[in-house]
């Protein structure tokens, strides 16, 4: 097994492209190292991206905020502008693991691990986050929800990696929120998760909304009926109730020891309703 710490994205991509056998990107390693220890992953080349300056920074751009692929969730939580502009994404990343895990875990790692229960992914999808995917020949910007294709499966080619994630600039009077349900209060895999992003007009009528649910299907689910239930309303009780029902209906969870199907369908609706209430408050609070 080879371990490499390139200094540039280009070198990192070249290492992946040139890898004999399996190459794996190492960000925080909070998934990858666990998988390697248990024998689930045995890469031939490990490409550590934490030495690449472009991947370690949070930068404001014209279109929004660009978060490097090696930025740890703890750094995001401490970034005032990020926490203010995209509170739903930041609070989702801040739910990952414990303080120790948060010192390492990244958004891109959470995404590329491909877990249906990944906490930051519904939150990113709700605000339309875009991953910058870089390969040997070209780079492309891809909506986050296009990255994961199934449990543990992603759409990146063998020689591609994510360099950064763009959190697009928020329109005025927008708010987002993420909530998850676990049997205890922290450090657990979500039984269900829900992210809501919405935008209001000056009269308080919802003009745009996205409702994304997680952990209740093989991948995240974009609940279009949930969004529709909010758009055109003042996000009142009835609208939230309708959105809750749409989420419960859209969820396709399995029965497992962590929760029964019916419980997960119910709870994901409750979470979406509550996330909607928080997002609404945030939208009203912002100018």
Ligand X SMILES: Cc1cc2nc3c(=O)[nH]c(=O)nc-3n(C[C@H](O)[C@H](O)[C@H](O)COP(=O)(O)OP(=O)(O)OC[C@H]3O[C@@H](n4cnc5c(N)ncnc54)[C@H](O)[C@@H]3O)c2cc1C
Region label for 118, one of left (φ > 0), alpha (ψ between -120 and 50) or beta (otherwise): beta
Binding segment for other proteins (CB under 8 A), chosen from 16-24, 88-96, 128-136, 256-264, is: 256-264
Q: Which is nearer to other proteins, 14 or 189 (CB)?
A: 189
Residues in the chain: 287
39 binds, among ligand X, other proteins, none (CB under 5 to 8 A by kind): none
**How many Å from the N-terminal Cα to the C-terminal Cα in the chain?**
53
Other beta carbons within 10 Å of 27:
28
Distance CA 165, CA 188 (A): 25
| 257 touching other proteins, by CB under 8 A | yes
- Give the three-class secondary structure for 202: coil
**Binder among 258, 275, 280, 283 for other proteins (CB under 8 A):** 258
Q: Find the residue with minimal CB distance to ligand X.
A: 109
Task: Scan for tokens 């190459």, then name that residue.
Answer: 23
| 99 touching other proteins, by CB under 8 A | no
Q: Which is nearer to ligand X, 6 or 29 (CB)?
A: 29
| 147 touching ligand X, by CB under 6 A | no
**Binder among 62, 99, 183, 202 for other proteins (CB under 8 A):** 183
DSSP 186: S
Number of residues that bind ligand X (CB under 6 A): 30
**Binder among 4, 91, 94, 119 for ligand X (CB under 6 A):** 119
| 180 touching other proteins, by CB under 8 A | no
The Cα-based distances of 162 to 9, 32, 174 in angstroms read 9, 16, 27
Beta strands in the chain (DSSP E): 2-4, 23-26, 45-48, 58-61, 64-68, 130-134, 139-143, 148-150, 153-154, 161-168, 174-181, 192-200, 206-214, 221-222
**Binder among 25, 200, 267, 272 for other proteins (CB under 8 A):** 267
Binding-site ranges for ligand X (CB under 6 A): 24-32, 34, 49, 69, 95-97, 101, 104-106, 108-110, 112-113, 118-119, 156, 161-162, 187
């Amino acid at each position: 097994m080879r371990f490499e710490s390139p200094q540039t994205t280009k070198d990192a991509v070249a290492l992946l492209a040139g890898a004999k056998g399996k190459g794996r990107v190492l960000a925080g390693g909070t998934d990858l190292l666990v998988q390697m220890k248990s024998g689930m992953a045995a890469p031939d080349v490990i490409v550590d991206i934490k030495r690449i300056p472009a991947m370690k920074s949070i930068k404001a751009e014209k279109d929004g905020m660009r978060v490097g692929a090696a930025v740890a969730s703890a750094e995001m939580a401490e970034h005032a502008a990020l926490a203010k502009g995209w509170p739903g994404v930041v609070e989702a990343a801040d739910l990952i693991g414990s303080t120790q895990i948060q010192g390492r875990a990244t958004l891109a790692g959470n995404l590329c691990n491909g877990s249906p229960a990944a906490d930051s992914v519904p939150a990113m999808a709700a605000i339309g986050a875009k991953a910058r995917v870089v390969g040997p020949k070209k780079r492309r910007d891809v909506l986050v929800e296009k990255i994961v294709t199934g449990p543990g499966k992603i759409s990146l080619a063998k020689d591609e990696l994510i360099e950064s994630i763009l959190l697009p600039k928020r329109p005025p009077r927008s708010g987002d929120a993420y909530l998850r349900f676990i049997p205890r209060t922290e450090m657990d895999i979500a039984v269900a998760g829900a992210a809501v992003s919405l935008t209001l007009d000056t009269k308080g009528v919802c003009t745009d909304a996205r409702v994304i649910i997680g952990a209740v299907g093989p991948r995240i689910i974009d609940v279009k009926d949930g969004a529709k239930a909010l758009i055109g309303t003042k996000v009142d009780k009835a609208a939230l109730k309708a959105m809750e029902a749409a989420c419960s209906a859209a969820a396709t969870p399995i029965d497992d020891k962590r929760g029964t199907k019916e419980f997960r369908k119910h709870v994901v609706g409750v979470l979406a309703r509550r996330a909607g209430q928080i997002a609404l408050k945030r939208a009203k609070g912002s100018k």
